[in-house]
Structure formats: C-alpha cells, structure tokens
Chains A and B, each alone.
Chain A
Amino acid sequence: MLELNAQTIGFFIFSALMVGGGLGVVTSRNLIHGALYLILSLFGGAGLFVLLSAPFLAAVQILVYIGAIAILIIFAVMLTRSMTRMGEVFNTQWWLSALVAIAVFALLVVGVIMPVFGGLDMSTVSAEVGTTMELGIALVDGNQFVLPFEVASLLLTAAMIGAIVIARDRD
C-alpha cells in the first residue's frame, strides 16, 4: 500500500492543482480567469516535475509558461476583446465533446495504463538520476542532441519572425 510521506502528500496536492486548474481552464467564462487557472495547473505540473527529480524542468515550466506564455495569452485576450458579449461559452456539440473526452480517458486508463504499467512494484526504479549538468553535456554532444539543439533555435527564430509578420498591422 502507499506509504504516507512528504512525497505522496506533495503528489496529491500537485495533481489536484493540475487537474483542478485544467477543469478551470476549459469551463471558465472569463478568459483571464482561464489564463489564471492555466497558471495554477502548470504550477501543479512544476511540482510534479520536482517530485520526478527534474527540478530544472520545474523551474523552466514556471519561467516559460507562467512568466512568458501566460503573459502572452493575457496580452492576446486583451487585444481581441469583442465589443459585444461573448454569448455561449461552449458550442452546440459540447456534450459530444464531453463523451469523446471521457472515452479518450477511459481508453487510456483501461487500455494502456492499467494493463501495461499498473501495479505497485517499485523495485526496478533506480535511485540515481541524471543531473542538469549531464543534460547540458548531452545537448551539445555531437552524438546526442546537437542537431535538435540547433533546430530548436531555428524553429524558435522562425516562429518569432513568422508571428511578427502575421501579427503586425501595417502591410
């Protein structure tokens, strides 16, 4: 059975934040509230990263999502506010969407997660974990990730130029 320690308590708190925040995102009428719920959800995700011994990714999650993407989303919400009321939040097929979402979840849980990864056997989990230092070495190693590393930079530059060209309002 699960042992009740700091890690399990943390897991349940962060999972609750993540799923609760996610529900807030998809149901909130006000888009700014939606963005704040998104932040809450991603903060829970950062907590889960810490529990998974990837503190670097946790910091990056807060830096990139909460510090940058959320700000950008709020900017965009302000730039595209309609003068009239929004009307309905959901479209007419929302109940169909709910069915699809539940089906996806059920399929994932019943079909993949429980049969393949179920069980509480923790004996194979290694206590040693790769560090951020090793990540840095791997990223610029000629045999590992140096090509994706450069391509990531290229992708970001392309996204930046493309987004600027699309967004600016003079022709």
Chain B
Amino acid sequence: MNECRDLINTLAACLSTSGWDPGLAQFVQILLGVVLVTLAPLIIVIFLIWVERKFAARIQDRIGPNRVGPWGLLQTIADALKLITKEDITPAGADRVVFNLAPIVSVVSVILIWAVIPLSPIHIGVDLEIGALYFIAVGSIGTLAIMMAGWSSNNKYALLGAFRVVAQLVSYEIPFVFAILVPVMLAGSMGMQDIVDAQRGMWFAVLSPIAAAIFFLSAQAETGRAPFDLIEAESELVAGYNIEYSGMKFGLFFAGEFVHVLTNALLLVALFFGGWVGPFVDQLPILGFVYMFGKAALFYLFSLLLRNTLPRVRIDQMMNFNWKFLVPLSVINVAVVAFLLQVVRALGLAPASGMENDLIANLPQAAVLLAGNLVIIAVVLQLLRNAGRRDRSAEAVVVSKEDEMLPAQAAH
C-alpha cells in the first residue's frame, strides 16, 4: 500500500484503507505525532546532560562521569533514579498546588515549542501558519513558571531570586523577538517550514548576521547560561528561585533548562542557518535530521564553551547591555533590513521568480543586505570605542583624585 510507506505522516490514510474509522485513524495519527514530539526532547536531554558534564570536565582538566556504563553514558539515568528516590520536601507555608505546578509548567513550556520545529522537509509536529509567533508565545510561559516557583516557596530568597530572573528574562525577550522579525520579513511568512524553505538559496544568517547574533545572545540569556547565568549564580545567591525545591521537582527545572538550550540551538538553525536545507534532502528527507541536528550541535557546543570559559557578569552590566545595546541595535537592524529590502526591490536585484533556490540569483540581494549589516556593525563598533574611551578617561580622573582609595573600589 502506497499510504503505508511513510508511516508517521500518512498513518491516518494507511489505517483507513485497512478499514478503520477515518475520524479515529486521524486521532491515532495525531496522538502518535504528539507522543513522538514530546518524547524526543525528553530522551535527548538524558544524553545532553552527559555531554555537558563531559565537556565541562575536559575544560576543567577532569575526567567527568566515567563509572556508570561505557564512558559514563548511563550516569544521567542513575542520577534520575537517585532524584526519584530522594525525599521530596515541601517547605512549611508553601502554596502546595502552585509549588508542585511550577516545575511542570517550566518543562511543558519548552516541550510545547517542539511542535513547530521543522526537523526535515516532511517531519514537523505541525506547520502552523503563525509558527514563529507560536513559539515566542509558548516560550514566554516559562517566565511565569519561575514566578510561580519563587512566590509559592514562601521564602524571601526564592522570591527575590525569581524577581531578578523575571526582570532579566523579560528584558532579553525584546531583542529576541525583534531578531525573529527579520527572518519573518525575509521569508514573508511566519510558518517555520516556509522560513526554512526560503533559505534554499541563501541562509538568512548571511543576509542579516546581526539578527542571528542578537538571537544567539538573547537566547543564551533566556536560558540563563553564562555569562548571563544570574538565574542560578549558585556560588553567590543561594541558588535563586528554586532554592526550596528538592528531589525530582528540582530535577525537572534542571531538565527544562537543558532542553531549552537545545531548543534554542535548533530554532537558531531553523531561522538563520538553513534548517534542514542541504544536498539530497528532497530525495531522502531523513537527511534533514542530520543537517538540522549537526548544525544545532555546533551551536550547542559553542554555548557550552561560552558557559564554561566566561566569567559571570553583574546584573547592572547585564541590564545595561540589554537596554542600551541589544534593544536599540535590534530595532535599528529591523529598520535597516526593511529599508534595504525596498531598495533591492526598486533596483530589481531580488532573485527572479523561479530562481529563488539558486545561489547565484540570490547573490545581489545578499550583497546589498550584507553590506547594510556591515555598515551597522562598523558604526556600532565606532560608537562603542568612543564610549569606552570616554569611560576610561572619566575613570582615570577618579583614580588620580582619590589616590588612597583602592582601585577596586574606585571601579564601582
């Protein structure tokens, strides 16, 4: 039967030809898709935690997990078993319902994003017309989970930690969303498959490297990874919003963070680095998984490298970096890309219809947009240099005036 060759996408048709009720067959297909899409991130995360620990160990000149299973691969499973059998403490005075709900909401908000991640030309949970907006909206529920956790713990450190984190998350969501506007504008669609499809000729990262960089940086901050890891800062704040959580509930927050990092890497690849686009992907759709996860792994490792090598920033530095650098830059970037697209159209440089997938036909448009981005980068660098020079000369005056003061104090 032809319908039964690709089971995931045509299960309904396959089942109804073998005599099932069409409505029921449809429902079974949806259910199968949902279970696959939900389980995939949860299974991958078990492996990711191992990767992360090995990687961090190498950087810190250790060996990392090496006892359970070959190369310590089963360490995470052992840890999960340990977490499940640990006593789960709910502090006195906590709001039980909200306290138990918060870690679940935190994981669910990340898993829900996977519904619209295009993994290959034919494998996507569901290709919504408003896919890009869907994952922004669903992702923003995660902020609420942190607020719920911090409030329901009935602990002032948890509440203060939650407030700081939420202020950080909502601030960094603005450049995040503005960066997503650029691929939406270039592809002329919010559907994730359309966005990937529009990159067959040229990756959007080439057309607007600034947007890609802003997306990566703000995604790094959204997941609370170093240098923006004020969410945890376990060595300075007493762990922040999840201080009262123990056992499996703590583990869920932890797992949610790991899935979120991978999810953001996948989104970055889908939005800016061509997604599943690659040679022979139309003949053999399964290759899309390889391209997609291969590129995402690179960004995941880059994110790990940043996490393990950069020092933590102070919260005021972090807020300044967002409001006075990323937000204005992302707004200007959107305006410039919009302007250049009009210029490209007026000069007739856009690839002719039918030629969108051709690399050569895309070059003029790409050259114009890339030049515009390079101009912005040059101007921004010049501005930063001037500002830095001003700051340093102001600092020098302060130091020379207060000679007896320690330089460390003067810097504050």
Contact = CB atoms under 8 A, between A and B. Distances in A.
A139 interface: no
Given A59-B137, A62-B137, A67 B129 contact: no
A39 B130 CA distance: 21
B381 interface: no
Interface residues of B, number: 23
Contacts of B173: 67
A32 interface: yes
B163 interface: yes
Interface string A51-65: 000011001101100
Contact of A36 (B98, B129, B140, B170): B98
B129 A63 contact: no
A107 interface: no
Contacts, number: 56
Contacts of B133: 56, 59-60, 63
The range of chain A's interface size is 20 to 34
Given A56-B130, A78-B159, A131-B129, A66 B151 contact: no
B159 A63 contact: no
A59 B163 CA distance: 25
Interface stretch (A68-76, A85-93, A159-167): A68-76
A7 interface: no
A132 interface: yes
Interface in B118-156: 128-130, 133-134, 136-138, 140-141, 143-144, 147-148, 151
B144 A63 contact: no
A39 B136 CA distance: 17
Given A55-B128, A55-B130, A71 B147 contact: yes
A71 B130 contact: no
A63 B128 contact: no
A71 B166 contact: yes
The B interface is mostly helix, strand or loop, or mixed, namely helix
Contacts of A59: 130, 133-134, 136-137
A60 B133 CA distance: 8
B130 A63 contact: no
Contacts of A60: 133, 137
Given A55-B129, A56-B130, A59-B130, A67 B137 contact: yes
B159 A132 contact: no
A18 B152 CA distance: 24
A74 B151 contact: yes
A3 to B, nearest CB: 12
A132 to B, nearest CB: 6
Nearest to A55: B130
Nearest to A63: B137
B129 A132 contact: yes
Nearest to A74: B147
A66 B130 contact: no
Interface in B247-270: none
Contacts of A74: 147, 151
Interface centre among A36, A56, A67, A70, by most chain B C-beta atoms within 10 angstroms, is A67
A74 B39 CA distance: 33
Interface string A20-38: 0000000000001100100
B136 A63 contact: yes
Contacts of B140: 62-63, 66-68
B151 A67 contact: no
B170 A71 contact: yes
B138 A132 contact: no
Nearest to B169: A71
28 contacts: A32-B95, A32-B98, A33-B98, A36-B148, A55-B130, A56-B130, A59-B130, A59-B137, A60-B133, A60-B137, A62-B140, A63-B133, A63-B137, A67-B137, A67-B140, A67-B173, A71-B143, A71-B144, A71-B147, A71-B166, A74-B147, A74-B151, A75-B163, A78-B163, A131-B129, A132-B129, A132-B130, A132-B190
Q: Which 9 A-B pairs have the closest CB atoms?
A: A67-B140, A62-B137, A63-B137, A59-B133, A59-B137, A55-B130, A59-B130, A56-B130, A59-B134
Given A67-B143, A71-B143, A78-B159, 8 more contacts: A59-B134, A62-B138, A63-B136, A66-B140, A67-B140, A67-B141, A132-B129, A132-B190
Interface of B: 95, 98, 128-130, 133-134, 136-138, 140-141, 143-144, 147-148, 151, 159, 163, 166, 170, 173, 190
Interface of A: 32-33, 36, 39, 55-56, 59-60, 62-63, 66-68, 70-71, 74-75, 78, 131-132
